[in-house]
Structure 1
C-alpha cells in the first residue's frame, strides 16, 4: 500500500498542476476564461476516454509496464506544457498528460484493492495518496511559477520519471511465475455501479470546477494576490486529503453508503458558507472545510465501485478513479462561459447548487453483499514474471 499510495500521489500531482497553473496561463499567456477551462477539458479528455478499455485490459492481463509508463507520461506532458506559448500545443501536451493518468489508474487501483483487502480505511490510504498529490501541487507550483514564470513547470518532470522507475523495480522485486490472465470471483451489480458512476460524475463536476476557479475567485472577486489564490487552492486540496482519510474511517464504522450520502449532503452548506464570506483571509478556513467535506465520499466510492463489480476491479477503478472523476472536466467550458459573463464567483455559485443532484442520486446506492471477491491468478510456467497472486478465496 505504501508503494501504490506514493505512486498515486506522484501521478495525481500532475492533475493538481493543471488547476494550479490555470491562473498563470490567464495572466501570462492572456488565455481567456474559456481557453483556460479548455485546458481542464484537455486533461479530462486524455484521462477519461481511455479509462474503460485500459481497465478491461488490466482485468485480463497483468501488463506491469502500464502504471510506470502512465505516471511518467503524466509528468512529461504536464511539465512541458508551460514551456510553449501556442494554445494548441499546450492543449496537446495536457492531452498527453491525461493519457498518462489513464494508463496509471486502472492497474494501480486493481493492485491497491488486493493490498487493501476488505478495508475501506486501507483503501482510503491509496485514495489519499492521490489527494496528497493534488494538495502538494499548488503548494509547489504556485511559488515556482511566481518566481520563475511558466517555464518552471519543467522542474516537475523528473519526479514522474523517477516514480516510473521505482514502480518497475517494485514489480521486479515482487515477481512470481507469470499469470497470463487474471480471473476474479463475485457477482457483479451493474445497475448499482451505474448509479454510483452518476454520483461520481456529479461530484467530479463540483471538484473540477472548484480546482479550476477557486484561485481565480480569490484573485478576481476577493482582490487577493496570486499567491493567496494559490493558498486557497492548496487549502481546499489539503482539506481533501483529510476528508479522504476521514471518509474511510467513517465507512468502516457506519457503512459505506451512509458515509457517501452524508458527505454529499454536507457539501451544500459548506460551499455556500465559503461564498457568503467576502473577506479573503477569513474565507481561507472555509476553503479548507469545503475540501474536507467534499472528499469524504472519495475513497468510499472507489471501494464501493469495486464491490459492485468484483469480477472487474481494474475496470471499476478505471471508472471511479478515472472516467467518472475526470468527466467533470467536460462541463468546464460551460462554467468558463458563465465565468466570462459573471466572473469566477458566478461559476462557483452554479457549482454550489450541483450537489443536490449527488444527494438525490446517492439514495439509489445500497450496501454490497460481502462474498469472496479476491482475485484468483492462473499461472503458467515461464521465465517471465509478475506480482505474486493472492490465494484463491471462496
Structure 2
C-alpha cells in the first residue's frame, strides 16, 4: 500500500502496533514540545522567591507564555496549509526550549518576559505543522491520532515533575538544563522530515469540503472544555489542602493523579472513536464529566477522593484527541489551521476565565470554584449536539506521473 492510499483510506479499527510505529516520532516530539508548557508554571514561583518578582509580575510571566503559545496559532496554521515548511516544527521545539531555558539565567524582568514569550511562540510554531503531518501519518485512525495527542499530555505532566526537583536543588538557573532536549529533538525531527516523503501532504490538505459552521461549534466545545480543564488543574491541589485538610504533598498527589488520568483518557478516547464514532465519543465524554466532578466533590475523605481525581482526569480527556481529528475532518483543506485552533487557541482560551474563578474562590474557597466548574459541562453537552460525523468523500483518481508534472509545472 502506498503512502497516498494510506492517507485517504477509511478509519482503522482497533489499536494495532502499527499505530504506534507510525506515530512514535510525532508523539515523542509533541511530548518534548509541551514539556515546556508544563515547565513555565513550575518555574514561576521560583522567580517570585529568587528574583523577588511581585504576584502581578508573576502572572504576567504566565500570561507571556500563554499569549505567545495561543495568538500565533491561526496565522501559523494558515502558513502551514499553504507551504510544507518542514523546518517550522523542529524550529518551534528548539525555540520553546531555548526561550524557557534561558529565562532563568537573565536578571531583568523584561528579558524574562521576552524569553517566555519566545518560548510560547516556539510552542505555537510546532502545533499546526506537526498536527498536519501527524494527521497524514495517522492514516485516518483516531486511535493513532490519540497517541499524538497523548504525547502532549505526557509532556505537560512530566514538565513540573522534572523541573520542580531541579529548581528546588539548583535554583531558577536550573532552567538551562532543559535546553538540550529541545535542540536535540528539533534536530531529530528535522532529520525525520528529510527522510520522509512529503508528496502526499498536498493531497491531505486539498481533499474534501470544509464545514466551517461545524468547526465553529467544535471550537466552542473546546473553549468550554479548556475552561474546565484549566480550572480543575488550578484549584484541585488547593481543594485538597483547604477543604479536605490535606498537606501540600497530598494536594500535589491529587493534581498528579488528575493529570495522569488525562493521559489515559486521551488514549481511551481514540479507541472509543474508532469503535463508536467520533461525535458519540465527544458527547459521551462531555456527559460523563458531570457525574465524575460531582462524585469527587461529594467525597470528603482526602484519601478516598484520590481515585476520583484520577477518574476526573480520565473522563474529562476522553474527547481531547478526538476533537483534534474531528476538527481536521471539518476543515480537510486546512489541517494545519484546524490543529492550531484545537491544540493551541481553543485549549488556551480557558485561561481567560481564570480571573472570574479566582473571584469565586476568593469568596467561597476552592470548593466554590470547583462547584462552578462542575456545572459547566452542561454547556459542553448542549454545544456538542451541533456536531455531526464528517462525510468522507470518495478518493479522487490517482494522478499519473505525467499529470502530476503538468499540475506542478
Match of 1:54 among 73, 76, 87: 76
SS at match of 1:296: coil
Partner of 1:185: 207
Q: Say whether the 8 Å CA contact 1:124–1:299 is kept in structure 2.
A: yes
| Larger helix proportion of the pair | 2
Match of 1:331 among 343, 347, 353: 353
Cα 1:21–1:335 change in 2 (3 A) is: farther
Partner of 1:161: 183
Gaps of 5+ in 2: 1-22
Counterpart check, 1:365 vs 2:381: no
| Segment of structure 1 superposing worse, 287-296 or 271-280 | 271-280
Q: Say whether the 8 Å CA contact 2:220–2:383 is kept in structure 1.
A: yes
Counterpart check, 1:288 vs 2:288: no
For 1:341 and 1:33, how far apart are their aligned partners in 2? 19
SS at match of 2:375: coil
Partner of 1:209: 231
Cα 1:346–1:284 change in 2 (3 A) is: same
1:239-270 superposed Cα distances (whole Å, 9 cap, x missing partner) = 11100010011111111111101101111222
TM-score (norm 2): 0.83
For 2:244 and 2:43, how far apart are their aligned partners in 1? 19
Match of 1:107 among 129, 149, 153: 129
For 2:300 and 2:107, how far apart are their aligned partners in 1? 34
Match of 2:88 among 66, 85, 91: 66
Counterpart check, 1:172 vs 2:178: no
SS at match of 1:45: helix
Cα 1:172–1:309 change in 2 (3 A) is: same
Q: Say whether the 8 Å CA contact 1:70–1:101 is kept in structure 2.
A: yes
SS at match of 2:393: coil
1:130-187 superposed Cα distances (whole Å, 9 cap, x missing partner) = 1111222232223333444443333222211111111111122225789999851111
For 1:271 and 1:363, how far apart are their aligned partners in 2? 21
Partner of 2:375: 353
**How many residues of Structure 1 are paired with residues of Structure 2 in the alignment?**
381
Which structure carries more relative contact order (alpha carbon 8 Å, separation 6+)?
A: 1
Counterpart check, 1:76 vs 2:98: yes
Match of 2:329 among 282, 290, 307: 307
Query: RMSD across aligned C-alpha pairs, in angstroms?
Result: 3.1
Partner of 2:219: 197
Q: Say whether the 8 Å CA contact 1:139–1:230 is kept in structure 2.
A: no
Counterpart check, 1:320 vs 2:342: yes
TM-score (norm 1): 0.86
Q: Say whether the 8 Å CA contact 1:181–1:377 is kept in structure 2.
A: no
SS at match of 1:352: helix
Cα 1:373–1:85 change in 2 (3 A) is: farther
